[in-house]
Structure 1
Amino acid sequence: MANPAALLARAPEKAAAGLREFGRMCAMGIDVVIAMFRRPVQVREFIQQFWFIASVSITPAILVSIPFGAVISLQLGSLTSQIGAQQFNGAASVLAVVQQASPIVTTLIIAGAGGSAICADLGARSIREEIDAMEVLGVSPIHRLIVPRVQAAIGVSVLLNGLVSVVGVLGGYFFNVIVQGGTPGAYLASFNALAQLPDLVVSSIKAFIFGFLAGVVAAYRGLNPRGGPKGVGDVVNQSVVITFLLLFFVNTILTALYLQLVPAKGT
């Protein structure tokens, strides 16, 4: 059993190591952004990665978005019934799905399915020393391998976010009207009264940023495996966990900024 005193003594060292890793990841993210504007554009690699991430993400995202929309609608429907505000159930459900649930569900699926595959692929290349060979030949791994994968993660995230929003809203509408006996006209009227275009814009911005984070984290961890094949499995798990933590942290910041900067409709 580990000694608690020893663990406490090593805590500053581990915190410093974590900050160094975070700094290196941020530096690689900046390098990725710069490399996106360099020629030649890796069109073939981008299309392959886009199709792969989309193929492994669409079905799980749809299946997850339906219960997400249903749970939000049922919970809000029960709450609004208790306080006598059933006329606002449609707006509350739609805004919760579009602003919060949709980009989060999208990125969780992409990080768990596409991001883990990206990390495993780059990790396998790293332990086979393919990355080192590319650098020796003067080929930039960031421009050749990472940029197309990050761009594909961003593109799939933005498009899948729209699909998840539609499916989630339809699921919420179905459960509110069919299961809870709500009125279709009241549901749509409250949505039109309170929803606004910036709600959809901020959802797309979140999906863009989350997709970028998922791609960069997966690529960074994939380029830094330790311990052979077992290390590849470890960095895959780490990439998913780190992406989830960053996702919820950044989502909190973006939501707070949006609520402060964009006035609510009707105010």
Structure 2
Amino acid sequence: MSTRSSSAGFPGAAVFGQVGRITALFLAVGRGAFRRPFQVREFLYQSWFFASVTILPTALVSIPFGAVVALQLGSLTQQIGAQSFTGAASGLAIVQQASPLVTALLVAGAGGSAVCADIGARTIREEIDAMEVLGVDPIQRLVVPRVLAAIFVAVLLNGMVSVVGMVGGYAFNVLVQDGTPGAYLASFSALAQLPDLAVSSIKAVLYGLVAGVIAADRGLHPKGGPKGVGDAVNQSVVITFLVLFLINVVLTGIYLQVVPPKLS
């Protein structure tokens, strides 16, 4: 009794408890991904669901993202007399930063919230408890397929955002800022390298993993009835955004320190 009261009085006890619970769920998902039987049908259904709710918003968001990056960097390069490097600057910014972040926002905001609401509704209806009584592991049956689907769709969306963003940035630079089409593409191909695409894909994998696990954790532990599920959905989106932005800063810093820039 004294241990519980002292832990509850510690200001960060709840935060550390949630971090430990999410970490345990990460490990459980990792183990469940290699256990048999694998829920292939559920994985395909969840992948289709994630794609259906995120592909159109992602395509629509990626166009202004690419345009804003190209316009801003194009204006800056014009001021310093380096307009020929607009393609390289905007292309690398889109591939390394904009594409994973747009993917993270849509996967967490659209897909992750739906996962949290679905699992949370099952929890308050005591379906999760019923599965455990019947000897069915809810982590392997419900969480693992959704997390793997989030990772799979995040990688696909990341590639789509890169392509659409590059096309949008190219179009706005050429049509609005009177940029040279050949210089835009040549500068990007001269400075871009394969690790740029690799780090973008790694970010997408981690973003999908984090978004899926956090959404599932909040759905498994709602407080109260339907209102608690709604609060859990809001919490999952906010927590996921904070964690993903932190991961982006760390990965970008590591990448810039480890991978040397390509010289033109």
TM-score, structure 2 as length reference? 0.96
Give yes or no for the alignment of 1:114 onto 2:111.
yes
Q: What residue is the counterpart of 1:211 in the other structure?
A: 208
Give yes or no for the alignment of 1:174 onto 2:156.
no
Equivalent residue in structure 1 for 2:37, among 36, 40, 43: 40
Deviation of 1:12 after TM superposition, in Å, equals: 7.0
Give yes or no for the alignment of 1:30 onto 2:27.
yes
Alignment of 1:77-92 (within 5 A): 77-92=74-89
Deviation of 1:130 after TM superposition, in Å, equals: 0.5
Q: Percent identity?
A: 70
Q: What residue is the counterpart of 2:247 in the other structure?
A: 250
Tell me, what secondary structure is at the counterpart of 1:14?
Answer: coil
User: Alpha-carbon deviations, 1:21-72, whole Å to 9, x = none?
Assistant: 1111011111101110000010010011000010000000000000000000
Deviation of 1:14 after TM superposition, in Å, equals: 3.4
How far, CA to CA, are the matches of 2:11 and 2:235 in structure 1?
16
Deviation of 1:13 after TM superposition, in Å, equals: 2.8
Give yes or no for the alignment of 1:136 onto 2:133.
yes
How far, CA to CA, are the matches of 2:126 and 2:213 in structure 1?
20
Q: What residue is the counterpart of 1:5 in the other structure?
A: none
Deviation of 1:237 after TM superposition, in Å, equals: 0.3
Equivalent residue in structure 2 for 1:200, among 183, 197, 200: 197
Q: What residue is the counterpart of 1:154 in the other structure?
A: 151
Q: What residue is the counterpart of 1:187 in the other structure?
A: 184
How far, CA to CA, are the matches of 1:206 and 1:198 in structure 2?
12
Equivalent residue in structure 1 for 2:47, among 36, 45, 50: 50
How far, CA to CA, are the matches of 1:188 and 1:12 in structure 2?
59
Tell me, what secondary structure is at the counterpart of 1:41?
Answer: coil
TM-score, structure 1 as length reference? 0.95
The residue type equivalent to 2:209 in the other structure is F
Q: What residue is the counterpart of 2:3 in the other structure?
A: none
Q: What residue is the counterpart of 2:235 in the other structure?
A: 238
Q: CA RMSD in A?
A: 1.3
Q: What residue is the counterpart of 2:123 in the other structure?
A: 126
Which runs of 4 or more aligned residues in structure 1 lie more than 2 Å from their structure 2 counterparts after TM superposition?
10-14
Alignment gaps of 5+ in structure 2: 1-6
The residue type equivalent to 2:57 in the other structure is P
User: Alpha-carbon deviations, 1:192-228, whole Å to 9, x = none?
Assistant: 1100011011100100000000000000000000110
Q: What residue is the counterpart of 2:92 in the other structure?
A: 95
Deviation of 1:137 after TM superposition, in Å, equals: 1.1
Q: What residue is the counterpart of 2:13 in the other structure?
A: 16
How far, CA to CA, are the matches of 2:261 and 2:200 in structure 1?
15
The residue type equivalent to 1:61 in the other structure is T
Alignment gaps of 5+ in structure 1: 1-9
How far, CA to CA, are the matches of 1:258 and 1:218 in structure 2?
28
| Number of positions where the alignment pairs a residue of Structure 1 with one of Structure 2 | 258
Tell me, what secondary structure is at the counterpart of 1:53?
Answer: helix
User: Alpha-carbon deviations, 1:79-127, whole Å to 9, x = none?
Assistant: 0111111111100000000000001101110111110000000000000
